[in-house]
Every structure is written in structure tokens, then in C-alpha cells.
Amino acid sequence: MVRADLNVPLDGDKITDDGRVRASVPTIKALADAGARVIVTAHLGRPKGAPDPKFSLAPAAARLGELLGAEVALANDLVGESAKAVVEALTDGGVVMLENVRFDARETSKDDAERAALADELAAFADAFVSDGFGVVHRKQASVYDVAQKLPAYVGGLVDAELGVLRKLTDDLERPYVVVLGGAKVSDKLGVIANLLSKVDKLLIGGGMAYTFLKAQGHEVGTSLLQEDQLDQVRGFLAEAEKRGVELVLVDVLVTAEFGNVEHDVVGTDAIPADKMGLDIGPKSRELFASKLADAKTVFWNGPMGVFEIETYAGGTRAVAEALVKSDAFTVVGGGDSAAAVRALGLPEDGFSHISTGGGASLEFLEGKELPGISVFAKNEGDR
Ligand SMILES: Nc1ncnc2c1ncn2[C@@H]1O[C@H](COP(=O)(O)OP(=O)(O)O)[C@@H](O)[C@H]1O
Ligand SMILES: O=C(OP(=O)(O)O)[C@H](O)COP(=O)(O)O
């Protein structure tokens, strides 16, 4: 059983960036080539613990089959009759996939016993477990953490390689060290900032993340993405950043009346109208961010600077990406959408030192937090 991260961006049922599927191939292929019967488990999006066709893994299974050159049958459930039939029909060297692990509410349950019960059912399908979904190792979830305690468990090549690169950002890194944060998973990622403040020289904040900072500084943010319940925490970060001399810079944004509308204005961060939302960083911010990145020696970037999927709001993300390509620093981009953005904007992948499949996972590793999907291996002494 291989836990992969196949959480790919979709437009309807079309994969818009298959980077995570491609990154999952080497481990799956090596096992299949060695004659194993491979059962792939993965999640897609954040369904509410029940089947939802919008979040089916069907596009990922089809793409994985194309890349492997052999069909990958997809069960239409996780541990039910369909999964049992698909696993039973497996032959040596074959690969099958179970449906989205998050269609079962026990996957993400906070209750240890509930997760363990699902892990038992998953483990009954297999003789060994390989943890290869780097983007999800920061999640204490049944298919990532609990199942690793039920079977002989091994770290896969992708997880091993990702950790190898990220260690370069924790041991003896060259300064100035700049971290760029954006994206939409604001509440998740605000949590890492407290620890990052003691490690970085500059923190550049854009994307959906920026508006909670602007609000905490006393600005009006209109209808922009806002994590109201974390404002106090962010006020604490601002005070801490000032004390430590960590710079936070954002001066203008692109605002629009309605999400997705291409009609927009550029306004200063102190002039966001009450009925508008910010969907990208503005031209002055782009220049400022690029100048802060120009003399960096180490950069980690997670989270697009704007809604890059719409060309009108892709400029901020492009500016940061181009600044990294130009830079001779050690540059790591992490996250499903950030990696997808770099490729969608046509930037050369070799313009970055590393493009990681994990955003939240990388950030939590960099802040020094224990990652459940990794620390579980310390508990299974002897397994590797
Ligand atoms: N200002 C913004 N408002 C709303 N969404 C935003 C904004 N800026 C960026 N985004 C969205 O953030 C998403 C990616 O966020 P996230 O999942 O946190 O990044 P990653 O997958 O790289 O870790 C993109 O789909 C992008 O459209
Ligand atoms: O897309 C992911 O993370 P990322 O957006 O931090 O790169 C992973 O697949 C984890 O998904 P989750 O944040 O819903 O647990």
C-alpha cells in the first residue's frame, strides 16, 4: 500500500497540472516492476467525510495509468465491496487505486480510535506500507499516520528526497534568508509564522494571507479573504517581527468587486474599498518584493501571490517567480498550487533549486515541527 499525494488542481475533471502524479510514479513503478501488487491511496481536496463525485480520484487514476503505461483500476469506495474486489483482482506487478480517503470521515477524525479502526481496514488489504505522499506528511490522518503503525512501514523515495533538500534550509543556510508566503490556506499557514520569525531575515507576505496582516495593522480589507479569529495572533507576529527586525512589506494590491471579475483597480493597502476584495499584489509591491529577493542567498516560497489561475491576477505570482529564476540564491518553491503556478506561467523548472510537492508539509518541517507522517517511523523501530 503506497500513500501518495495526488491532490492535483482540476478544471472540472481535467487535471491542470499533473506534477504530483508524475512525482508519485518512481516509487509506484519501482514496486510494480519488482513484482509487488500495488494499492495506491490518496486524497483530493477537502470533501466533508462522505463520497462526493466532485472530489473523485478518477482523473488522477487515469493520468497515473497513462504515465505507467498500464491501466490503474479505481475502486469506487475506500474499504467497501468495490475496494475489496479491486484488490482481490490485483496480479503481480499491477497497480490499483482506492477512492479518495477523505470520503470516509474517520480519515481526518481527531479521535485516535476512529482513525485506528479505518487504518485496520486499510491494513487488511496489504502486507507492507510505503509513505510517499510528502505533501501530506504533516497530517495526522489514518492513511498517513495510523496505517504506518499497523504494517511494516517504509519511507518512500519521494519523501526521502524532499526531506534531503529541505534539510539544506535548516542546517547552515546562507543568509539573507527570505521566506515568501501567500496562498489561500490562511489559517493553516499562519500557524507556522511564529516559529519562522526567529529563523528568517525577511518575510514577504502576499496572496490571501496578506489581508489578515493588513487588518491586524488597522487597514480596511473590504471583502478580501480574512481570518478574523486569528487577528490577535497576527498582531503578536507583527510585534515580534518588529522586535526582531524582520521586515514585512506590502504596499499596494489589485482589487475587484467580485471574485473572478477581471475589472479591477490598483489601490494602496490603506485604501481598499469596503465592497472590494484583493486578488493580487500590486505593481509597487511586486517591485519591492523583487528588490528584497535580489540579494537573498536562501529563499523558500509557498503560496501564490494572487489568484494566478486568472491571467489578470497572475502578475504578482509571476513577479516573484521571475525574481527567483533570476536569483543565484538557493531557491525552493513548495506547494501544489505554487508548483503548478510556476509551470503554468511557463517558467523554467530548472530556474529553481528545487520545486517541492509539499507546501504546508515543507513549512511545518522548516519551522521545526514534528511531522506525524515522519515521526511515526521513529515509533516503528527497525522499520525504514
Ligand atoms: N488574494 C487571494 N484571495 C483568494 N485566493 C487567493 C488569493 N491569492 C491566492 N489565492 C489562491 O490561493 C490558492 C493556493 O493556495 P494554497 O493551497 O495555500 O497554496 P499551495 O497549494 O501552493 O500550498 C490558489 O488557488 C490561488 O488562487
Ligand atoms: O495540497 C496539499 O498541501 P499544500 O497546499 O500545502 O501544498 C496537500 O495535498 C495536503 O492537503 P490538505 O492541506 O488538504 O491536507
Instruction: Dump pLDDT digits (tens) for 36-56.
Output: 999 999 999 999 999 999 999
What would the mean pLDDT of 115-143 be, rounded to a whole number?
98
Flag whether 35 is marked binding. no
What nine digits make up the cell of 322? 521571475
384: confidence class by pLDDT, cuts 50, 70, 90 = very low
Predicted confidence at residue 245, as pLDDT, reads 81
Predicted confidence at residue 378, as pLDDT, reads 80
Flag whether 82 is marked binding. no
Lay out the sheet containing 265-268: strands in order across: 265-268, 252-256, 277-281
Mutation choice for ligand 2 from 185, 188, 209, CB with most ligand atoms inside 8 A:
185
Q: What is the DSSP string of 180-215?
A: EE-SS-HHHHHHHHHHHTTT-SEEEE-GGGHHHHHH
Q: Is position 373 annotated as part of the catalytic site? A: no
> Is pLDDT of 116 > 70?
yes
Q: Which of 20, 150, 202, 215 is catalytic?
A: 20
Q: Torsion angle of alpha carbons 187, 17, 330, 169, nearest 10°? A: 40
Q: Which ligand is nearest to the CA of 365?
A: 2
What would the mean pLDDT of 344-353 be, rounded to a whole number?
96
Predicted confidence at residue 380, as pLDDT, reads 62
Going from the C-alpha of 70 to that of each of 17, 32, 64, 66, 289, the distances in angstroms are 21, 11, 9, 7, 45
What nine digits make up the cell of 155? 519511507
Tell me the average pLDDT of the chain.
Answer: 95
Q: Is position 292 annotated as part of the catalytic site? A: no
What would the mean pLDDT of 78-92 be, rounded to a whole number?
98
Residues whose beta carbon lies within 6 Å of some atom of ligand 1: 182-185, 207-208, 225, 278-279, 302-304, 306-307, 309, 335-338, 359
Q: Is position 360 annotated as part of the catalytic site? A: yes
Nearest-CA neighbor of 153 among 8, 290, 256, 1?
Answer: 1
Q: What are the tens digits of pLDDT across the range 312-334? A: 999 999 999 999 999 999 999 99
> Is pLDDT of 360 > 70?
yes
Nearest-atom index, ligand 1, CA of 210 = 1
Q: Which of 207, 208, 316, 360 is catalytic?
A: 360
Cα 258 versus chain centre, distance: 26
Pairing mode, strands 265-268 and 252-256: antiparallel
Pairing mode, strands 153-155 and 129-131: parallel
76, 98 in Cβ contact below 8 A?
no
Could you report the predicted ipTM of this complex, rounded to two decimals?
0.98
> Is pLDDT of 162 > 90?
yes
382: confidence class by pLDDT, cuts 50, 70, 90 = low
Q: Torsion angle of alpha carbons 342, 347, 348, 352, nearest 10°? A: -50
Residues whose beta carbon lies within 6 Å of some atom of ligand 2: 5, 7, 46, 135-136, 139, 185, 335-336, 358-360
Quote the percentage of the chain above a pLDDT of 90.
91
If one counts every other C-beta atom within 10 angstroms of the C-beta of residue 185, the result is 18
What's the whole-model pTM score? 0.95
Residue with cell 474517520: 106
Nearest-atom index, ligand 2, CA of 45 = 14
What would the mean pLDDT of 186-215 be, rounded to a whole number?
92
> Is pLDDT of 383 > 60?
no
If one counts every other C-beta atom within 10 angstroms of the C-beta of residue 119, the result is 24
Flag whether 74 is marked binding. no
Predicted confidence at residue 137, as pLDDT, reads 98
Flag whether 278 is marked binding. yes
20, 135 in Cβ contact below 8 A?
yes
Nearest-atom index, ligand 2, CA of 46 = 14
Range in 118-122, 192-196, 266-270 with the lowest mean pLDDT: 192-196
In this structure, which amino acid lies at residue 150? K
Using the mean position of ligand 1's atoms as its centre, give its distance from the Cα of residue 235 in Å.
Answer: 22
Predicted confidence at residue 247, as pLDDT, reads 77
Using the mean position of ligand 2's atoms as its centre, give its distance from the Cα of residue 136 in Å.
Answer: 6
> Is pLDDT of 141 > 70?
yes
